[in-house]
Amino acid sequence: MRKGYYGKFGGVFVPETLMPSIYELEEAFFRWWRSRDFRKEFEGYLKDYVGRPTPLYHASNLSVRCGLTLYLKREDLCHTGAHKIINALGQALLAKKMGKRRVIAETGAGQHGVAVATAAALLGLECCIYMGADDVERQKMNVIRMDMLGAEVRGVETGTRTLKDAINEALRDWVTNVRTTHYILGTVFGPYPYPQMVKEFVSVIGREAARQIWKKEKRLPDVVVACVGGGSNAMGIFYPFLKRKEVTLVGVEAGGKGISTGHHAARFQGGKVGIFQGTKSYVLQDSNGQILDTYSIAPGLDYASVGPEHSFLMESQRVTYTSATDEETLEAFFLTSREEGIIPALESSHALAYVIKNCTRWKDKLVLVNLSGRGDKDVETVSRTISP
Amino acid sequence: MNEITNVFRRLNREGKKALIPYVTGGDPSIEKTYEFMEFLARNGADIIEVGIPFSDPMADGPVIQRASERALKAGTAVKDIFALVRRFNKAFTIPVVLMGYLNPIYAYGVERFVSEAADNGVKGLIIVDMPPEEAGEICPLLRKYGIASIFLATPVTNRDRILKIKKIARGFLYFVSVTGVTGERDEIPTDILEKIKEIKGLISLPVTLGFGISHPRIVEEFFPYLDGFVVGSALVRRWEHSFSVDDPELKNFFQEMVIACHGS
């Protein structure tokens, strides 16, 4: 396999100005990732600052209701409310090692932005977060949090005013300030080495979950389910199970208002292979190769492309990708809140929606869901759907 | 021998520099772009760079972003750009090079794109988000169809990369004046002179300067060290005033740039 590729997917599709930094990052990541001291520092933060290992919780009420055994990997209990802090801390530590004094990031739901602002505050880095203007509206609370953490939030008014436009602006900033700035990309996406590096950081989720479920159930789960936006929480929990073929892996994309309406963000339902924002992967695009506007109630899934390794796992059929609509997602959101007393993020609710929808298929089976984030940020959005 | 090389040879003999204006194809319509190209060709352009609009131009500043949006709003597709170049080539001998992002080319089909580009008289191709590492598929095709593969170098491109680019670059080398996106700048840092000299020492291709060329003064400053100048945002910003080739500010500016590159 070519370096930086997962089958035919991946690569490094960036302007020439960024190439030296891409190499610098690759070299730094592999050097420090092998360093015992770096690992110790990183794992120290994960334990005492993030609060890892996160619990694996047997959701008994939902289990009874669905007729299966459901475990939730409680990433919602991470400091800042989602798994995003893992990658943010890993890359911020790396930025320090590379001698960069400033970090930038894109954010959709605001979770990655908050995570980066947090890591930057902790490690004393200057921080600037790009966020689509529409997302600034949708996720006000996270904007306020970033501001309180000392980060500058720049609303992006261009294009569709969502995550992809925030990435464009972050890339423009990086091209401009490449000598002093590290770009903390928030998912297993973009040019190599990002997909690989982010995967290595977040794979702690799956390693913990495998160990925990083994301890509780003395066996591997029958199915592992995660939502897929860029795909970091899914990659994190899937990674240790990829080689165990007896474990079914399911990725759930944003079905929005339904695939047939065109208002969705399900790349594997309506996309085709293309090159976008640094990598070759499945992309929602028109016949002229222009990137399509996407839609989801969950801003963290509202993106036109997907991590290249997910495309590889889809084509090699190791992972099954499906989608859940907004409606199904909201149902799962309320059910989990009321049955378990856990308000899940709308992103993670997509994974729960899959389980609820398919409970007959997984009857009496052992099901593991990555509850990638908590839903505090979504309460406004959700309350608008009940009382418009 | 590619026509691009001939242009630089001739200008070199005459002690002039190539003036390479950039226009976004289809901004605000293909018909208007044709008028613009006609104006540029009649008034001193040596090579014309035509941008293929893309929905997510990550290496472009606000002016070219807007141009791209207008072109897409008008429904501009790759086939329209080819038709534009074909029409231009019937009336003018000035070489046209295309500049764009990879996805629209990929969606069109890479070989189909290259062969039709050649059929319609495209002389060179610049793909902004395709570094040499990812050029393995398209470069042999460009050679096969006689289109120059134009690559970029920047102030942070080191010697090893320059040598890597040298192996596959044809036509001219596009030196990006600053780390950053396209757009006008008041000043270009003169510390890039060292880098330009390093590149000239390693590469025999003509080297042009682009990004931020906002004023004839910048051309004068760098005149002795380079073979040509690409003017994009400064021109497109004046173009979007009225989309008219009779716009006095547009005419004056272009005239001044011609004088700076060619002498009066």
The predicted pLDDT at position B184 comes to 85
Residues A234 and A362 in one domain: yes
Residues A176 and A248 in one domain: no
The predicted pLDDT at position B237 comes to 97
Read off the pTM.
Answer: 0.96
ipTM of this predicted structure: 0.96
The beta-carbon contacts of A358-364 under 8 Å, at least 24 apart in sequence, are A359/A66, A359/A67, A359/A68, A360/A67, A362/A66, A362/A68, A362/A222, A362/A223, A363/A67, A363/A68, A364/A67, A364/A68, A364/A69
Whether the predicted pLDDT of B1 surpasses 80: no
Lowest mean pLDDT among A134-138, A232-236, B155-159, B235-239: A134-138
Contact A351, A320 (CB under 8 A): no
Residues A208 and A289 in one domain: yes
The tokens 């018909």 sit on which residue? B31
**Mean per-residue pLDDT for B201-226?**
96
The predicted pLDDT at position B208 comes to 98
Q: Mention every residue, 6+ apart, whose C-beta is less than 8 A from residue A201.
A: A86, A87, A90, A91
pLDDT tens figures, A105-148: 999 879 999 999 999 999 999 999 999 998 898 788 899 999 99
* Closest C-alpha to A167, from A104, A252, A102: A104
Residues A138 and A257 in one domain: no
Structural domains of chain B sorted by starting position, each given as residue range(s) with its CATH number in brackets: 3-262 (3.20.20.70)
pLDDT tens figures, A210-266: 999 999 999 999 999 999 999 999 999 999 999 999 999 999 999 999 999 999 999
The predicted pLDDT at position A108 comes to 85
Pairs across A and B, CB distance < 8 A: 110
- For the four alpha carbons of B70, B72, B78 and B83, in that order, the dihedral sign comes to negative
Contact A290 B59 (CB under 8 A): no
Domain stops at, among A149, A169, A198: A198
Domain count, chain A: 2
Find the catalytic residue in A75, A106, A208, A309: A106
The DSSP output letter for A290 is: P
3-class secondary-structure state, position B85: helix
Choose the mutation target among B82, B106, B177 for the interface with A, i.e. most A CBs under 10 Å. B106
Contact A149, A118 (CB under 8 A): yes
Residues A68 and A126 in one domain: no
Residues A9 and A151 in one domain: yes
The predicted pLDDT at position B264 comes to 67
Residues A157 and A219 in one domain: no
The predicted pLDDT at position B163 comes to 97
CA dihedral (A4, A120, A304, B137) in degrees, to 10, reads -20
Distance CA A63, CA B141 (A): 58
Residues A136 and A243 in one domain: no
CATH of the domain at A37: 3.40.50.1100
pLDDT tens figures, B118-151: 999 999 999 999 999 999 999 999 999 999 999 9
The predicted pLDDT at position A135 comes to 86
Contact A103, A95 (CB under 8 A): yes
pLDDT tens figures, B8-35: 999 999 999 999 999 999 999 999 999 9
Q: Which residue of A has its CA nearest to B151?
A: A16
**Mean per-residue pLDDT for B67-74?**
98
Catalytic residues of B: 49, 60
Tell me the two tokens of residue A62. Answer: 């939902």
With beta carbons under 8 A apart, name residues in chain A contacting B176. Answer: 16-17
Residues A165 and A192 in one domain: yes
The predicted pLDDT at position B43 comes to 98
Residues A13 and A70 in one domain: no
**B203 reaches A (C-beta below 8 A):** no
Domain stops at, among A165, A198, A231: A198
Domain that holds residue A22: 5-46+84-198
* Closest C-alpha to B41, from B75, B9, B87: B87
Q: Which residue of A has its CA nearest to B66?
A: A158
- Positions in chain A whose pLDDT score sits under 50: none
Q: Where are the beta strands (DSSP E) in B101-194?
A: 122-127, 148-153, 173-176
Residues A174 and A292 in one domain: no
Domain stops at, among A182, A198, A214: A198
Residues A158 and A301 in one domain: no
Q: Mention every residue, 6+ apart, whose C-beta is less than 8 A from residue A90.
A: A42, A197, A201
Tell me the two tokens of residue B195. Answer: 């880098």
